[in-house]
Structure 1
Amino acid sequence: MTVIDNAIYVGGRRAASPAVLAETFEALEQHAGGFAWIGLYRPDAAELGVVAEEFGLHELAVEDALAGHQRAKLERYGNTRFVVLRPARYLDEDERVEFGEVHLFVGGEFVVAIRHAEKPDLGRIRARLEAEPPLLARGPIGVLYAVVDQIVDEYAPVVAGLENDIDEIEEQLFSGDAAVAKRIYDLSGEVMEFQRAVKPLREMIETIRDELHDDQGEPELELRRAFRDVLDHVIRITERAEEYRQTLQNALSVHATLVAQQQNDVMQALTETSVAQSEQTKKISSWAAIFFAPSLVAGIYGMNFRHMPELGWGAGYPFALVLMFVSGFILYLIFKSKHWL
């Protein structure tokens, strides 16, 4: 059963608790000046269709309420407001933000609250209002205020959780942890989703506040003050969320700079190693060439062929020694002038 609670309120008091929706509509007719508050959890098309037909809900709003996955918004269809809110809660164990969705149809004598996630607990809001008859006596607009106020209050732990995550990222950023980039990216997505949930509330609350008038057309000062207080909270949360987004963008830039610096350090070390190896190669090649010249002379005169004129030459041996020394010395001077040695 998707009907979580179903009640008729008159003068801030619960006057009836119909068991089924059909009885709700009949009871509302019997309690003049009252209003119905119906709480639904992921209703199907048939069930919401019954409510829509009875209260004249616009088909486009009903379609949105059934589909879910809507952005936070306020739309008017005649005398009925269709409000979409995006509650959020911070999960300490997973260190992430979980988002929900609440749809409200607010008319002159009814409130239909549709919840698409486990949170927030709208039953707690109902219990709070039933303990405050003067606020509940304001009718459907009082219920709307209480729901918005509760959802905005529940943003506070989310802000604290995000701030703690960002502090951890700042520490992780300079520790060389390779996983920090993914964490920054994931957290940036959560912050942007949080901004999409909170940012529309400012215009939404201002619009509702400015529309509040009593039966004589005078401004509803009490409720306007209440909505203004919620608006102040929304503005502060919006500013904090924007600060978090900027901080994460800066963290991502710093991370990119650190990675680039590390890559430069590695490339510089490789370049220095390559240069050192090149110098060693030059030295080895130079000495190999110097020793090759005497070896060439010695190899030629060590072949001992019969017809070699130099073999019978008396100065042949000293000439060969001088030739080996001179050729090696000349090569040494050449390599030394080129700074290979």
Structure 2
Amino acid sequence: MKHPYGMECVVYREEDGTARRVGRERPEEAGRTVLKHLRELGEGEFGWVRLDSPAEREVADLTAGLGLHPLAVEDAVHARQRPKRERYGDVLAVALRTLWYVEEDSEVETGEVMVFLGPRFVMTVRHGPADPAAEAARRLAADPATLRFGPVSVLHAVLDVVVDAYSDAAGKVRADLTRLERCVFSPSRDDLTEEIYSLKREVLEFRDAVGPLVPVVREFAAGPRSQWPQGVLPYFRDVADHLHRTDTEVRSLDELLNSALDAHLARVGTWQNDDMRRISAWAAILAIPTMVAGLYGMNFEHMPELGWEFGYPLAVGVMAAAAGLLYRAFRRNGWL
């Protein structure tokens, strides 16, 4: 659900973690006001500006005042970026894919968040229903000590929320895959090809969100050239570790889905072979009665035992006995 306000700005004091909201208006009305507050920040303060699916005209004054590169603004407004990091002067731009799993439809839904990190400000731009910034703000309020690291603490909080959502979604995909595996190896003969393929497509979308983010977070954990406080690096290493585990999990899910699809197709082939053997067995059983009945239907002048009163029962008995022997043989060999 879209936030009722297009822009929200909070000013944090690094020393004690206190926060005050200075703007909660629509972007076209709040851009100049927020920019004014950011320019008037006191010592040890930084601002966090949160935007929800803005249009370029709505944030023109704000982005120009913050010195954001036009390419960065274009990425933020139009979205659909792969996870990445770019540096424009003293502003770091990080693109993240938000992700959640809809169990009812077995679908992975994605959105996007752009994070712009400056010396004394952070700006997050959200696209899609999921809003990691709201949970990140709650975590920062619960642990204000992390705000001593300045704007980078917001980047860590947003990354932490996004990666936790990845982990939660991976667990739900794993549960759906386990259910599919039980169905694949169950006695029932349901066709699961489309269901397996649909889940695989969702896992591939999952990989597109997680995979490119791994080297980005690893670089943050190693300490970027922006000279972040050394105390914040363990926090990024923790996020990198969680992300690496999720990436490994998603890759294993993809491989297991390939195996499940191969196993299902093999079982479908086995079912088809069983059907063909049954058809062949019944055709063989019916072949002898058909041959005998066809022989007597040829209307020869001299037919065997036509004048004998037990000739007809004997012919029927021979057909039944031959069919019964073949049926028994096929049952013994597992064809029927």
Q: Same fold, TM exceeding 0.5? A: yes
Whole-angstrom distance in 2 between the partners of 1:160 and 1:15: 37
* 1:70 partner SS: coil
For 2:69, the equivalent position in structure 1 comes to 58
For 1:232, the equivalent position in structure 2 comes to 241
Larger Rg: 1
Unaligned runs of 5+ residues in structure 2 are 25-29, 309-336
* 2:211 partner SS: helix
Contact 2:156-2:236 at 8 Å conserved across structures:
yes
Whole-angstrom distance in 2 between the partners of 1:38 and 1:248: 41
Contact 1:120-1:151 at 8 Å conserved across structures:
no
For 2:321, the equivalent position in structure 1 comes to none
Change (3 A) 1:155 1:177: farther
* 2:212 partner SS: helix
Q: 1:38 aligns with which of 49, 59, 69?
A: 49
Does 2:8 correspond to 1:5?
Answer: yes
For 2:322, the equivalent position in structure 1 comes to none
For 2:164, the equivalent position in structure 1 comes to 153
Q: CA deviation at 1:16?
A: 5.5
Change (3 A) 1:36 1:167: same
Does 2:118 correspond to 1:110?
Answer: no
Whole-angstrom distance in 2 between the partners of 1:237 and 1:124: 20
Equivalent position amino acid for 2:101 in 1: Y
Contact 1:173-1:255 at 8 Å conserved across structures:
yes
Runs of 4+ in 1 over 6 A off after TM superposition: none
| Offset from partner CA, 1:294-320 (integer Å, 9 cap, x none) | 38xxxxxxxxxxxxxxxxxxxxxxxxx
TM-score, with length taken from structure 1: 0.78
Change (3 A) 1:145 1:177: farther
Contact 2:117-2:155 at 8 Å conserved across structures:
yes
Change (3 A) 1:238 1:230: same
Whole-angstrom distance in 2 between the partners of 1:77 and 1:179: 52
Q: CA deviation at 1:102?
A: 1.0
Q: 1:195 aligns with which of 191, 202, 207?
A: 207
Change (3 A) 1:61 1:178: farther
Does 2:130 correspond to 1:119?
Answer: yes
Contact 1:130-1:136 at 8 Å conserved across structures:
no
Whole-angstrom distance in 2 between the partners of 1:177 and 1:81: 54
Identity %: 30
Contact 1:8-1:14 at 8 Å conserved across structures:
yes
* 2:301 partner SS: helix
For 2:27, the equivalent position in structure 1 comes to none
Change (3 A) 1:174 1:130: closer
Contact 1:2-1:43 at 8 Å conserved across structures:
no
Equivalent positions of 1:246-285 (< 5 A) are 246-285=255-294
Whole-angstrom distance in 1 between the partners of 2:75 and 2:41: 31
* 1:240 partner SS: helix
Equivalent position amino acid for 1:8 in 2: V
Contact 1:95-1:161 at 8 Å conserved across structures:
no
* Bigger helix share: 1
Unaligned runs of 5+ residues in structure 1 are 296-323, 326-341
* 2:81 partner SS: coil
| Offset from partner CA, 1:238-262 (integer Å, 9 cap, x none) | 1111111111100100111111111
Equivalent position amino acid for 1:190 in 2: E
Q: CA deviation at 1:73?
A: 1.5
